Amino acid sequence: MISFLSGKILEKASNTVIVDVNGVGYEVIVPLSTYYDLGEKGENVELRIYTYVREDTLQLFGFKTRREKALYLKLISVQGIGAKSGIAMLSGMNADEITLAIRTDDLARLTSIPGVGKKTAERLVIELRDKLDDIGIKELPKSAEPVDASGNEAFDDALSALVNLGYQQKAAKKALRKAVEEGTDMNVQKLLRRGLQLLAK
């Protein structure tokens, strides 16, 4: 069972990274919260891994911090939260926001995440409200500066990432346009971050 990977970034996209470990490339699915903290191609990376194994599937899910992985494991222990929907939750909100929403019974906040309905949100609150003490709420490390991107390519990449997370294209495009109007820099990560904030409101 793989629980940790250390190597160099071979390729990366908004929800996956290929880590070269001594000549072997491991494809790892990551939430956007981890993607923000990844370096660039050729740089070293360390990821905490959850190995998802089923009869016909073997997937690796990666996290930058132990805390993020710990929250993810608690999320997928709840009925209705699968391996991929757990990643979607951590992409739609950071660990602090999810933890706070569960502790404060904020069902509206939880159901704003794609794929999380009212019943699932209620189960999250009932089953995890008293089990998140070891997660804690604290300020997460600030992300590294994103790669420069400009023009429509950055906008289109951010839009594609939001659609892949389950947001409707029309709503995602509206949020990104508003982000641009607000003066958000035209690069993928900043547009994504602001777009997710606007969509969660």
Q: Profile the chain (201 residues) by mean pLDDT over runs of 10 residues.
A: 93 91 96 86 95 89 91 92 89 83 88 85 91 60 35 75 84 85 78 85 68
User: What is the biggest distance separating any 2 CA atoms in the chain, rounded to whole angstroms?
Assistant: 48
Q: How many Cβ atoms from other residues are within 10 Å of residue 65's Cβ?
A: 16
Please give the sequence-ordered ranges of beta strands (E in DSSP) within 44-199, or none if there are none: 44-54, 57-63
pLDDT of residue 31: 92
Residue that the structure tokens 């959850």 belong to: 50
CB-CB contact of 89 with 120 (8 Å): no
DSSP 78: S
| Residue 72 falls inside a structural domain | yes
* Residue where a domain terminates, one of 93, 128, 163: 128
CATH of the domain at 188: 1.10.8
Classify residue 104 as exposed, middle or buried by CB count within 10 Å of its CB (0-12, 13-18, 19+). Answer: exposed
The verdict on 33 and 54 lying in the same domain is yes
Residues in CB range of 103: below 8 A, 6 or more apart: 129, 132
pLDDT of residue 151: 44
Residues in CB range of 57: below 8 A, 6 or more apart: none
Domain of 74 in residue numbering reads as 66-128
Check: pTM over 0.75? Answer yes or no. Answer: no
pLDDT of residue 161: 85
pLDDT of residue 140: 36
pLDDT of residue 143: 36
pLDDT of residue 200: 79
* Residue where a domain terminates, one of 20, 46, 63: 63
Distance linking the first and last C-alpha atoms of the chain: 39
Domain count, the chain: 3
Q: Which residues pair with 58 in a beta bridge?
A: 53
pLDDT of residue 166: 83
CATH of the domain at 58: 2.40.50.140
The verdict on 52 and 70 lying in the same domain is no
| Residue 93 falls inside a structural domain | yes
pLDDT of residue 187: 76
C-alpha 148/C-alpha 136 separation (Å) is: 33
